[in-house]
Structure 1
């Protein structure tokens, strides 16, 4: 059984399938704290101890055992597709990464050349046409997901349902799926159901946003970035995300879900 993108507390109290750009830094820090009584000093994605991760070979057997035993709370978190793809653009394409470099080396220069994207720089205070560049990035994202060119799709803009389905297909089952937009309520329900060695409340957790402050701020409301063609591309890429997780496709400015997630429907539709 393979469970890529899965994190688990060492106490097996919580099992989490990571979905990039959906509060994963905050969730990871909460899980870390619930076992260790302190937050990880740095980006939780860089931790190599204090929490099990599928990417660490020594963690794979405990994670598989924990999932089979179903002792802990198994969960994941989702986000409005409009907001998520915008966040991916501003963080991974327009932003500077923690190491002071652009994301994935030559990716941004390739996008500038092939798609005519502009991203600005810290030297010009990221002065560029955000709307035009985002729409061109969206075309690139569609090409990677639909045609796998000029590269395979990146985890930060591939569909949430794709990430979430690998856990189900390989034998896992979610106890809870909650919304980034209702983070405190959703995370607290997970914590209430989990037997954690250290008590922690979701509404007392500091904000962990590892991408903040490394790039341009969004200058317009969400709907301004999505003309008719952009919305067509978003539907082409994220149709299943909108439907399964109850987000409002018709109003990009309404970030809130229209209803709760039906776990039985998610498992039925993502198991094949």
Structure 2
């Protein structure tokens, strides 16, 4: 199986397990900048050079060697499950993607037909009942994760613990897992542990939010989208994420973690 979703700087200074919707564009650009002294011109997910990626055959040997010898500082980043699934809805379901089309072709028409959701019209900018449509999307997300129908779960709403676990299961070990909600603190700690060809001044790094502007703006506070049933569905899908990464299930309005991540616990529970 190897190490899917793993990126590494060409200088082998740091190694990152991508978790979708968790600041991955910004982290990738920081890694690219640390090697090359400039940012990648475009979405870092499209970069075919300048960064080792498991998806590129030529990178796999270098990544495997470094993961297995634990020679390179390895980290990942996680996010509150409530805000992550909301972000996935507005970006991937309601939004028009970089190619000018809907995400995954017939996915949105299927959701409209089978689950009765609305997405703001053809351009994603029309008025619609965001709360009702999001809750119906949540049923769909649960169906894909629980029963793998009407399709396999998408990487943007499958559990973070699942992404994090593949790295551990194949012999990797994380040196640091930090929260997007405390991004500067966490990313700075990573940078403090590595030597890079070019210095990175985190305060001067822009945020590369590649999904921004794809879909409609969220019209309500986070907690308004989650009634009792929605919270139950979220817990069913993301129970392990809440527990391992110390997020507050009881209060959807609190996006901040409520405890420290225990790396030994993460490795023990996700390494089974």
Q: Which residue of 2 aligns with 1:165?
A: 165
Query: Where does residue 131 of structure 2 map in the other structure?
Result: 131
Q: Distance in 2 between matches of 1:204 and 1:183?
A: 14
Q: Distance in 1 between matches of 2:179 and 2:112?
A: 34
- The runs of at least 4 aligned residues of structure 1 exceeding 4 Å deviation read none
- 1:116 is aligned to 116
User: What CA distance in whole angstroms lies between the structure 2 residues aligned with 1:240 and 1:88?
Assistant: 19
Query: Aligned partners of 2:157, 2:89: CA distance in 1, in Å?
Result: 9
Instruction: Please say which of residues 180-189 and 119-128 is displaced more in the overlay.
Output: 119-128
Determine helix, strand or coil for the equivalent of 1:16.
strand
Instruction: Report deviation, 1:201.
Output: 2.1
Q: Deviations over 1:184-239 (max 9, x none)?
A: 11001001101111100222211100011121000000110001110000000000
Cα distance in 2 between the residues matched to 1:9 and 1:123: 37
Contact 2:95 2:124 in 1 (8 A): no
Could you tell me which residue of structure 1 aligns to residue 193 of structure 2? 193
Q: 2:56 & 2:234 partners in 1: Cα distance?
A: 34
Tell me, which stretches of 5 or more residues in structure 2 are unaligned?
none
User: Is 1:213 aligned with 2:213?
Assistant: yes
SS in 2 for 1:34: helix
Determine if contact 2:144/2:152 at 8 Å carries over to the other structure: yes
68-77 or 7-16, larger mean C-alpha shift? 68-77
Query: Structure 2: how far apart are the matches of 1:173 and 1:81?
Result: 23
Moved more, 146-155 or 119-128: 119-128
SS across alignment from 1:7: strand
1:70 Cα shift? 1.9
Q: Once the two structures are superposed, what CA deviation does each residue of 1:29-67 show, in whole Å capped at 9, x if it has no partner?
A: 000000011000000000000000000000000101111
Could you tell me how far apart the structure 2 residues matched to 1:214 and 1:141 are? 20
Contact kept, 8 Å, 1:122 with 1:215, in 2: the verdict is: no
Give the Cα separation in 2 of the matches to 1:258 and 1:120: 35
User: The residue matched to 1:39 in structure 2 has which SS?
Assistant: coil
Inter-partner Cα distance in structure 2 for 1:120 and 1:251:
28
Q: TM-score, normalised by structure 1?
A: 0.98
SS in 2 for 1:177: strand
In structure 1, distance between residues paired with 2:69 and 2:45: 26
Partner of 2:227: 227
- Name 1:152's counterpart in structure 2: 152
Q: Matched residue pairs, number?
A: 272
TM-score, structure 2 as length reference: 0.98
